[in-house]
Amino acid sequence: MAKEKCGNCNGTGMADCPMEYGGRCPDNCPACGGKQKVKCQDCKGTGKVDA
């Protein structure tokens, strides 16, 4: 099965934090822990998805 670059994270495996704080997330953000990025759910952090 062919793999394609994930469009959600643009192949990085990391997507912007989905929490909407209207700016940067606080250090205690439950989703990203303040890193502003979370593992991409579409590709499970691999950066690739099934074509």
**Positions in the binding site for Zn ion (CB under 5 A):** 6, 8-9, 17, 19, 25, 29, 31-32, 40, 42-43
Q: DSSP secondary-structure letter at 35?
A: S
Measuring CA to CA, which residue among 49, 47, 48 is closest to residue 14?
A: 47
Q: How far is the CB of 1 from Zn ion (least distance, A)?
A: 17
Q: Is 12 exposed, middle or buried (0-12, 13-18, 19+ CB in 10 A)?
A: middle
Report the residue number, 22 or 42, with the smaller CB distance to Zn ion: 42
Q: How far is the CB of 38 from Zn ion (least distance, A)?
A: 7
Report the residue number, 4 or 31, with the smaller CB distance to Zn ion: 31
